Amino acid sequence: MPVLLFFSCMDQQKQPIEELTPEPEAVDSIPEVLVVEPFPDTVFASAEKLLVQIDTIDKTIPSTLASIKDAYENKPGIFTFRGSASRIPYFSGYLTDDSIRFKVDWVFTTRTDGFKTSVGVFEGGSGWTGQALYVNWPDSIVERFKSNSESACLNIHNQEIILASLCGDLYFIDFETGKKSRESYNVGNVLKGTPALNTDLNGHVYIGHGAKKEATFGTQVFDLFTHKMINTFGTDPKAWRGWGGYDSSPVEAGGFLFRPAENGTIYKYYVGDGGYTLQSTLRYSTTEAKKSPGMESSMAVCRNYGYIGDNAGNILCINLNTMQPVWHYWNHDDTDASPIVEEEDGIPYVYTGCEVDHQGNEGSCYFVKLNGLTGELVWEDTIPCRKLHFGDNTSDGGMYVTPLIGGGDCEGLIFSAFCLHTAQTSGVFMAFDKKDGSELYRINLKCYCWSSPVAFYNDRDEMFVFFGDVLGNVYLIKGKTGEIVATAKIGSNFEASPIIVDNKIIIGSRGNKIYKISLQ
């Protein structure tokens, strides 16, 4: 194993020459450089049962990731869903003892659209997962924006919010003022999920459509320097499923962009040189028929492994170098919530949960912890849930949020929310022990929750959890005890997940409102 040697200069004034030669250090005192290796090219028996088709589209592009580091670490912003490849947020906020009241700093109003798609009318604002992106642009890039696209960027400043709205517009908002930083851009289709921003700051925004209106239905790449769409990928005739939505937030890893799709395909694009070239695709099925489930969850990445859930309840680990599934785990039902992956002592552990969909009107959310190397079950919690029927519509029970790992005084805990629907719109927020999955507490919410929780800390390293529910209520909960410290009715329906920037919360609501909220 390579070692790193440290040498220091000694004061040579008035020192005998023989004293300038240091004694050799003991070998075991020399610090070692930790070498992080890719996970192995293993294929377990569970994955061998899948019907798999991997197509290499461009054989001139080497398939191996250029790096196995998290591409989002130390970037000046929040560039994808939850801000990291692992889907564990890098961001958090700070609370003082007086921070127990919510204050709305500004409200941004989106356009509303009454177009009736095949899956309903979406109007405006933000839906699920609907998280905003944030970037703190360097001064040099701000000047380039102004000179390259002056008419669209008259109000551009360093701190910018980028948000994809249900009305089909891509919005750009000044973080400080809540005003438009650039002109919005209509993509022609409903935008439900969370877009992603290129980590090299080349100005490319990766967009996935949520429901079809009239334009080509699929994905797009928007160039912030030219204020133009530079790439569109529509219907894939080779897909094993017909629905072409992209609720999943794209994720970069090692010079590639990975796009899981609702047509049952995972697309691997090469973006290392600023381009956007399809390198390979993965299609799979659990049956002999080429009938693939769609993927609405966002892929979590650790080193060269990607983890994804699908609409049939399959959880897959994929070797991102080869696109070969490593293992397969069946988690009972439709999985829309994005998994998270946390590495402990060299072993990645995956946390995720399912809905009550295929189980019928009643069933359970299976909240699981899996060994990310083997797919073996570490623990499983079952939370009884049921579907909610209202008019001609149905809302599945179970888990839609992405879980939150505890920190500070909540080290060793994991938090999530569940749609019980046992008393109409009932939901709960729960805390679990990461080690064995034991339930520590549950608190009843005013309504069920699809908005993924985020963390605040105080100077005593106490953790507090923030999220919203689908009636527009927001909550601040003491992580250790479950005490509701503050709650307020602010929006109409918070399906979208929040981000925290400079101690401020940015969260979108269904209807047509985007909020910046502070705690005072």
Domain of residue 218, residue span: 17-37+45-519
In a domain, 344, yes or no: yes
What's the CA gap between 222 and 182, in Å, rounded? 13
Q: What is the CA radius of gyration of the chain?
A: 24
Asked if residue 393 belongs to a domain, the reply is: yes
The pairing of strands 513-519 and 504-508 is: antiparallel
Tell whether 10 is covered by a domain.
Answer: no
Is 278 inside a domain boundary?
A: yes
Residue 4 has pLDDT above 80, yes or no: no
Tokens of 504: 């401020």
d(CA 337, CA 495): 12
Whole-number pLDDT of residue 511: 94
pLDDT tens digit sequence for 81-126: 999 999 999 999 999 988 889 999 999 999 999 999 999 999 999 9
- Does residue 5 belong to any structural domain of this protein? no
Residue 72 sits in a domain whose CATH number is 2.130.10.10
Q: State residue 20's pLDDT score.
A: 40
Residue 12 lies in a domain: no
> In terms of Cα–Cα distance, which of 478, 490, 384 is closest to 428?
384
* pTM flag (> 0.95): no
- Counted domains in the chain: 1
- Rounded distance, CA 194 to CA 98, Å? 33
What pLDDT digit, counting tens, does each position of 115-131 carry?
999 999 999 999 999 99
Per-residue pLDDT band for 292 (boundaries 50, 70, 90) equals confident
Nearest to 353 by CA among 313, 319, 389: 313
Residue 183 covered by a domain:
yes
Positive or negative torsion for Cα 456, 458, 463, 465: negative
DSSP single-letter state for residue 182: S
Q: Is residue 1 part of a domain?
A: no
pLDDT of residue 312: 95
* pLDDT value at 266 more than 80: yes
